[in-house]
Structure 1
Amino acid sequence: MSTKTGLAVSRPPVIACNLDPVQMEKLSTHPSQPDVRSYSDEAAVWEIPRDADILFTFFRGWAAAPKQKPEGWPYNLKWIQIASAGIDAFPDWVFEGPPVTTGRGISAEAIAEYVVAAVFAHEKKMFDDLLVHSAGKWVRRTLNLVSGKSVGIYGFGAIGRRTAQKLQALGMNVSAVRRNAPEESGEVRFFSSLKDMVAEVDHVVLAVPLTDATRLSVNSEIFASAKPGLHVINICRGEVLDDNALLDALERGQVSAATLDVTAPEPLPEGHPFYTHRQVRLTPHISWSSEDNADRIAAKLQGNLDRFLAGEPLTDVVVAGRGY
């Protein structure tokens, strides 16, 4: 999407930023010598310095924003950069002013590797205490192949595409849900609905953005249609998944296991069944993380800053309906 950008005056940009100190420091070294204004009050992340030209922010704290836009919003803002790919926490009025761009794709590599690890761990029974610590535990078991297995991807954005590439390289048969198959579909088989896809795959990866249409979309109806033994991997939002429906499907054997990196809420309350269920593998929303994540974020954000200041089109602009 082409969007007119740039400053009308020749001066360093004023950037309101509530990202972490590492990103603040990296941003301050940009060649434009920006005036970076830190504001870290998470109780009101929308209360930004009124003279800021640009806002660099994250989703944290925005869920508490008022439904009606504050008086004077968007103030002096000419561009909003969100560091995360997910935008479900932001109110509609954020997208009704200057262009908004996201961090789409920053964590695609790390999340795709997490999915690969989850698939391998499931097929190779790594969660089944394979390690031998005594002669009495020396019991041979047959492990499963990853090659030749099928995986369905629910949400074929940057994360879904990178995940598909890695899984195909392992010899897996990859499917995805998409109404219109893109020209670059390659070896990906497309289904028009999640219900149809889960009936034919061994693993399903939940990678959709959270919207009204996807909230609780992975439910009892979907699990009833699933191929027996389905392995569910959720790396998007906990709200996409119906927890009670998943627990029921696990008890019935329709689903063999679930690898969950996201839940609703986070963390889950003490005593929640997911903590102790033998078929649930729970991680604390870390699939996106990597040792170079800070550099990836900085490269993405500062690349868009370069484009903005040069008056060039920005990348990953949110368009009407909160799409890309």
Structure 2
Amino acid sequence: MTQPVIVNQIDPEFGQTLSAHPSLPRVIDHFDRDRPWDLPEDADVLVTRAFRSWLNAPETHDLPALKWVQTFSTGIEIYPDWLMRDRVVTNGRGLTAPQIAEYVLAAMLLVEKDIYGARTTSLDDWGTRVFGTLEGKTLGLIGYGAIGEAVAKRARAFDMKILACRRGTWREVPEGITPCTTPEEVMTGSDHVVIAMPLTPETSGMVDAALLSHAKPGLHLLNVARGALVDQGALLRALDAGQLGKATLDVTHPEPPTAEDPIWTHPKVLLTPHESYKGGLSERARFERKTLANLDAWLAGRPMLDVVDPTRGY
């Protein structure tokens, strides 16, 4: 292939970056956010991101020339099945892991040391405050990919113990990690638990009443992955019953919650609007490097970075 045809759905600046590639691709900027699937018939490559409009895509669509899809997002559940199959798909695994890890540490510190709630504003308010600590506490990771790795790296700096389970096998156990065989084992032994699993048919609703019943009393649950991993009704019941102490949720199901959902105002829930991945522009630079490296590899027939296995869903 001498001049690939690349459809760019990121932004005009990214299109300029692609156009400067040595292969001199023909780059087509396509910013129709309502119908991102309406692609030119001769497109070889699609660079896209998780627009909510992908949920409205037709059930079938024929793009015979399309050979490779590069997504900004890590998860692929929002894209139609026909886009993810019978072609190479590479994702944005790890692009926003540092920012999400910082969010997790901030949330854990807020639970242990609520310095805003402890502030004093007058002599009458001066007095003893009670703080917890992360030192010596146990962090549980349900899922150990790029996000889990980034969270663990930062938690080790706070001298936390770390339990982790993952769907795949451990080729090598990272330093400072105690591997667990089940999510139940993680829940039983942890003070803070981070849900960092991909959403697949197998993992949907996995954090249910049965799993929550294994929670260590007072456990703080954080979900920075996908809302549909958690049975929110069961979560609120566990909080009300005292099985859990707190929950920090950056994702919900549905997203956003319905207007009458009690999760909005629950006193033990900190809810943020799926923004934990934000923080500067470093993820954009990483995405640019990854896409250009994958373009080099694709043109040369070499292995590419972060190829999605559609049978596993990530």
Number of corresponding residues: 311
TM-score (norm 1): 0.90
The match for 2:301 among 299, 305, 311 is 311
Q: Which runs of structure 2 are paired with 1:153-192 in the superposition (5 Å)?
A: 153-178=141-166, 180-192=169-181
Q: Does 1:214 align with 2:206?
A: no
> Does the 8 A contact of 2:143 with 2:195 survive in 1?
yes
Distance 1:275 1:24, change over 3 A: farther
Three-state SS of the structure 1 residue aligned to 2:213 is helix
Q: Deviations over 1:74-104 (max 9, x none)?
A: 3211211111101111233223222110011
In the other structure, the counterpart of 1:86 is: 75
Cα distance in 2 between the residues matched to 1:78 and 1:244: 42
Q: Which has the higher contact order (CA 8 A, sep 6+)?
A: 1
Amino acid at match of 2:143: G
The match for 2:191 among 191, 195, 202 is 202
Cα distance in 2 between the residues matched to 1:139 and 1:256: 25
Amino acid at match of 1:276: T
Could you tell me how far 1:126 is from its partner in structure 2?
A: 4.0
> Does the 8 A contact of 1:160 with 1:207 survive in 2?
yes
Q: Does 1:138 align with 2:129?
A: no
Amino acid at match of 1:66: P
Cα distance in 1 between the residues matched to 2:13 and 2:207: 37
> Does the 8 A contact of 2:77 with 2:313 survive in 1?
no
Cα distance in 1 between the residues matched to 2:192 and 2:55: 32
CA RMSD of the aligned region, Å? 1.8
Cα distance in 2 between the residues matched to 1:322 and 1:93: 15
Q: Does 1:118 align with 2:110?
A: no
Q: Deviations over 1:101-140 (max 9, x none)?
A: 001111111111111111111111246x112122222232
Amino acid at match of 1:62: W
Q: Does 1:59 align with 2:50?
A: yes
Cα distance in 2 between the residues matched to 1:323 and 1:169: 32
The match for 1:289 among 278, 290, 304 is 278
Amino acid at match of 2:136: G
Amino acid at match of 1:305: L
Cα distance in 2 between the residues matched to 1:84 and 1:320: 15
Q: Does 1:274 align with 2:248?
A: no
> Does the 8 A contact of 2:200 with 2:312 survive in 1?
no
In the other structure, the counterpart of 1:3 is: none
> Does the 8 A contact of 1:151 with 1:172 survive in 2?
yes
Distance 1:248 1:78, change over 3 A: same
Amino acid at match of 2:178: R
In the other structure, the counterpart of 1:301 is: 291
> Does the 8 A contact of 1:14 with 1:37 survive in 2?
yes
Could you tell me how far 1:273 is from its partner in structure 2?
A: 1.8
> Does the 8 A contact of 1:176 with 1:188 survive in 2?
yes
Amino acid at match of 2:17: K
Could you tell me how far 1:301 is from its partner in structure 2?
A: 1.6
In the other structure, the counterpart of 1:321 is: 311
Identical pairs, percent: 41
Segments of 5+ residues of structure 1 without an aligned counterpart are 1-6
Three-state SS of the structure 2 residue aligned to 1:171 is coil
> Does the 8 A contact of 1:116 with 1:167 survive in 2?
yes
Three-state SS of the structure 2 residue aligned to 1:161 is helix
TM-score (norm 2): 0.93
Three-state SS of the structure 2 residue aligned to 1:249 is helix
Q: Does 1:34 align with 2:22?
A: no
In the other structure, the counterpart of 1:17 is: 8
> Does the 8 A contact of 1:88 with 1:209 survive in 2?
no
Cα distance in 1 between the residues matched to 2:147 and 2:273: 19
> Does the 8 A contact of 1:202 with 1:231 survive in 2?
yes
Could you tell me how far 1:320 is from its partner in structure 2?
A: 4.5
Cα distance in 2 between the residues matched to 1:315 and 1:219: 34
| Larger mean Cα displacement after TM superposition, 92-101 or 46-55 | 92-101
Q: Deviations over 1:144-168 (max 9, x none)?
A: 1111100111111111112112112
Runs of 4+ that moved beyond 4 A: none
